[in-house]
A and B are shown apart, each in its own frame.
Chain A
Amino acid sequence: MIAWQTPLVDGVYVLAILVFVLGLRSMSSPTTARRGIVLAGVAMLVAVAVTVLLPGISNFGLIALGVIIGGLAGWYWARVVQMTAMPQMVAIFNGMGGGAAGAIAAVELLVALGNPVTAGLSLAGAIIGSVSIAGSIIAFLKLQGWLRSKPIVFPVQQPLNLTVLAVALAFGGYAAYTVQTFWLLPFFVLLLLFGILFALPIGGADMPVVISLFNAFTGIAVALDGFALVNGPLGDAGYALVIAGTLVGAAGSLLTLLMAKAMNRSVGNVLFGAFGATEETGTTMQGSMKPIDAESAAVEMAYANEVIIVPGYGMAVAQAQQKVKELADLLESKGVTVKFAIHPVAGRMPGHMNVLLAEAGISYDKLFDRDEINSEFPTVDVALVIGANDVVNPAAHRQGSALFGMPILDVDQAHNVIVIKRGQGKGFAGIENDLFYKENTRMLYGDAQAAVGQLVAALKKS
């Protein structure tokens, strides 16, 4: 006889999965996206709540304790954090999911190490989950600025990393072969170490790829845990993990490939290339960087028909998005058409610039991605680059440059270019930017917030 609880729980899981898919689908339009996520949230809440009804579940006190601690911590942290800290928040919560997947795999291994199928699936889940949490924490530390964001490289790095992974796998295999749980301890320790070593050489500008990759990793780890659960006594919950995990694994993988493509690099090159670790030397630039003051720049923009603003990570660091909104409003009040050109990998996570500009209240109709706006640069009067560098570097068209082939925003084609930049340093890739030396480019030095503030003040006076 089947108890009434099991069909109820199964039914809830099926409905929850349906809502998750519809919720992700609603992400294809900004008008439906919010409703989709709220529905998915309700479905998740119900799915979690009914799980305790499954036959054989006990330890209710511990379950409640864990849910309350983790739930409140996650809720509070995500509420209070600044919008500018979103990339590291996504990284850390993703890491928590990876850690949970690793821990579930660990318990499965303790319980069913003798079952080769469960053990194999759990070992795989443990590997991916552990790499996801350790790597996500390193990504979090780099994004938060608590760890150097430049690639951290040392000799024989890749051979060392491979050795650590191989020894970890050997311990895991040995544990499963001999059915001795003790060997799982070095297995997990070395996996976490590998995750750390894996993420250290990846630089800050490559984070859009890395964050989506770890997101996909966690999804796959969750799906693998689901397979292991399906093979155990309470398979019902396993299916929910398999489906939701696979959905995220597929979505995350696709997004990872899109991000890598936006830099014209392979995912492998992003992960193992330590991009930006060395600075380009030997190229001498023609001409010089020509400074401009805020007043002249403001006049130039006020008399333009159209201004395209190109934001980059410098805008995020300086939290200048509100000032940028003020600037755009002022220009529009003077009859200037203002558009924003967004490069897919500008910033530190996919869509980073869109989020910051939306936070400032800039309508998303004014945001254009590379394919939509690149043809407009030759006819635009002023292109204003705010803290972007590599994504507007025409060196990408120059054979032999490290950036060669990267699809860029063709800012250099605009009649006039004004670049807001903190100093004369190079971009993340460590490559001189030809754009800054061009005849029609003027440099407005300063922190993005201060410099845009000066532009706003100058425009108000005129």
Chain B
Amino acid sequence: MTADLWTAFYIAILTAFVGYEVISRVPVLLHTPLMSGSNFIHGIVLVGGIVVLGLATTSLEEAIGLVAVIMGAMNVTGGYVVTERILAMFDRSKKKGGPP
């Protein structure tokens, strides 16, 4: 266990509380965009995919790393577009005829 790893554990514990606090205020109305927005944020997995593919040396590692990057990229773009599309519908400024 390196010191870096312990640091990461400390950060993770604090982050879990931040996540809980931030989310517990979201109204039912926005549960779908919340879920799909957090779905987009774990698309950060793409960064991990790029790292393992970038460091891969054997063709097996490269193949699996490529799968990770493709899936990660799908997660991040799909998650973003879905969230954006949903939120666009809640955006009043784009709606005609709605209350001001």
Query: What are some 22 contacts across the A-B interface (CB < 8 A)?
Result: A24-B37, A28-B22, A28-B25, A34-B90, A48-B47, A51-B50, A57-B51, A66-B73, A70-B71, A74-B79, A78-B79, A78-B82, A97-B79, A99-B67, A107-B64, A117-B1, A133-B71, A222-B44, A239-B8, A242-B15, A251-B22, A358-B86
For the complex, what is the distance from the CA of A138 to the CA of B36, rounded to whole Å?
A: 18
Q: In chain B, residues 62-89, which have Cβ atoms closer than 8 Å to a Cβ of chain A? A: 62, 64-89
- Verify B89–A218 contact, CB threshold 8 A: no
Q: Which residue of B lies closest to A343 (CB)?
A: B28
For the complex, what is the distance from the CA of A242 to the CA of B32, rounded to whole Å?
A: 24
Measured between beta carbons, the chain B residues less than 8 angstroms from A41 are 40, 80, 84
Q: In chain A, residues 12-42, which have Cβ atoms closer than 8 Å to a Cβ of chain B? A: 16, 20-21, 23-25, 27-31, 33-34, 36-38, 40-41
Beyond contacts A30-B90, A62-B65: 6 other A-B pairs, Cβ-Cβ < 8 A, are A16-B44, A21-B22, A41-B84, A73-B73, A78-B81, A107-B52
For the complex, what is the distance from the CA of A223 to the CA of B45, rounded to whole Å?
A: 9
Measured between beta carbons, the chain B residues less than 8 angstroms from A247 are 15, 18-19, 22, 38, 41
The 8 closest A-B pairs by CB, nearest first: A70-B73, A250-B19, A66-B69, A57-B54, A351-B31, A74-B78, A78-B81, A351-B32
- Verify A249–B16 contact, CB threshold 8 A: yes
Q: Contacting chain B: which of A171-179, A224-232, A400-408, A411-419?
A: A224-232
Q: Which residue of B lies closest to A30 (CB)?
A: B90
- Verify A40–B47 contact, CB threshold 8 A: no
Measured between beta carbons, the chain B residues less than 8 angstroms from A60 are 54
- Verify B87–A33 contact, CB threshold 8 A: yes
Q: In chain B, residues 2-23, which have Cβ atoms closer than 8 Å to a Cβ of chain A? A: 2, 4-5, 7-9, 11-12, 15-20, 22-23
A272 within 8 A of B: no
A75 within 8 A of B: yes
Q: Which residue of B lies closest to A350 (CB)?
A: B31
Q: Contacting chain B: which of A87-95, A292-300, A311-319, A422-430?
A: A87-95
How would you classify the secondary structure of chain B's contact residues: helix, strand, loop or mixed? helix
Question: In the complex, which of the residues A23, A240, A251 contacts B47, with contact meaning CB atoms closer than 8 Å?
Answer: A240
Q: How far is the CB of B79 from chain A (nearest CB, A)?
A: 5
Residue in A66, A100, A242, A351 whose Cβ sees the most chain B Cβ within 10 Å:
A100
Q: How far is the CB of A405 from chain B (nearest CB, A)?
A: 20
A301 within 8 A of B: no
Measured between beta carbons, the chain B residues less than 8 angstroms from A351 are 28-35
Interface size class on chain B is 35 or more
A2 within 8 A of B: no
Q: How far is the CB of B9 from chain A (nearest CB, A)?
A: 8
> Do A27 and B34 form a contact, CB below 8 Å, given A104-B52, A241-B48?
yes
Q: How far is the CB of A312 from chain B (nearest CB, A)?
A: 15
- Verify B29–A234 contact, CB threshold 8 A: no
For the complex, what is the distance from the CA of A230 to the CA of B88, rounded to whole Å?
A: 37
For the complex, what is the distance from the CA of A63 to the CA of B73, rounded to whole Å?
A: 10
> Do A110 and B51 form a contact, CB below 8 Å, given A251-B19, A355-B32?
no
Interfacial residues, chain A to chain B (CB-CB below 8 A): 16, 20-21, 23-25, 27-31, 33-34, 36-38, 40-41, 44, 47-48, 51-52, 54, 56-60, 62-63, 65-75, 77-79, 83, 86, 89-90, 92-94, 96-97, 99-101, 103-104, 106-108, 110-111, 117, 133, 211-212, 215, 218-219, 222-223, 225-227, 229-231, 233-235, 237-252, 254-255, 258, 342, 344, 349-352, 354-355, 358-359, 361, 363-365, 367, 369
Measured between beta carbons, the chain A residues less than 8 angstroms from B79 are 74, 78, 93-94, 97
Measured between beta carbons, the chain A residues less than 8 angstroms from B2 are 230-231
Q: How far is the CB of B62 from chain A (nearest CB, A)?
A: 6
Question: In the complex, which of the residues B15, B20, B23, B46 contacts A67, with contact meaning CB atoms closer than 8 Å?
Answer: B46
Residue in B51, B52, B90 whose Cβ sees the most chain A Cβ within 10 Å:
B51
Q: How far is the CB of A154 from chain B (nearest CB, A)?
A: 30
> Do A96 and B72 form a contact, CB below 8 Å, given A107-B65, A247-B41, A354-B28?
yes
Q: How far is the CB of A274 from chain B (nearest CB, A)?
A: 24
Q: How far is the CB of A175 from chain B (nearest CB, A)?
A: 15
Measured between beta carbons, the chain A residues less than 8 angstroms from B92 are 30-31, 363
Q: How far is the CB of A314 from chain B (nearest CB, A)?
A: 18
- Verify B44–A57 contact, CB threshold 8 A: no
- Verify A59–B62 contact, CB threshold 8 A: yes
Question: In the complex, which of the residues A21, A72, A242 contacts B8, with contact meaning CB atoms closer than 8 Å?
Answer: A242
- Verify A219–B38 contact, CB threshold 8 A: yes
Q: How far is the CB of B72 from chain A (nearest CB, A)?
A: 4
For the complex, what is the distance from the CA of A65 to the CA of B2, rounded to whole Å?
A: 34
Measured between beta carbons, the chain A residues less than 8 angstroms from B37 are 23-24, 27, 33, 36-37, 40
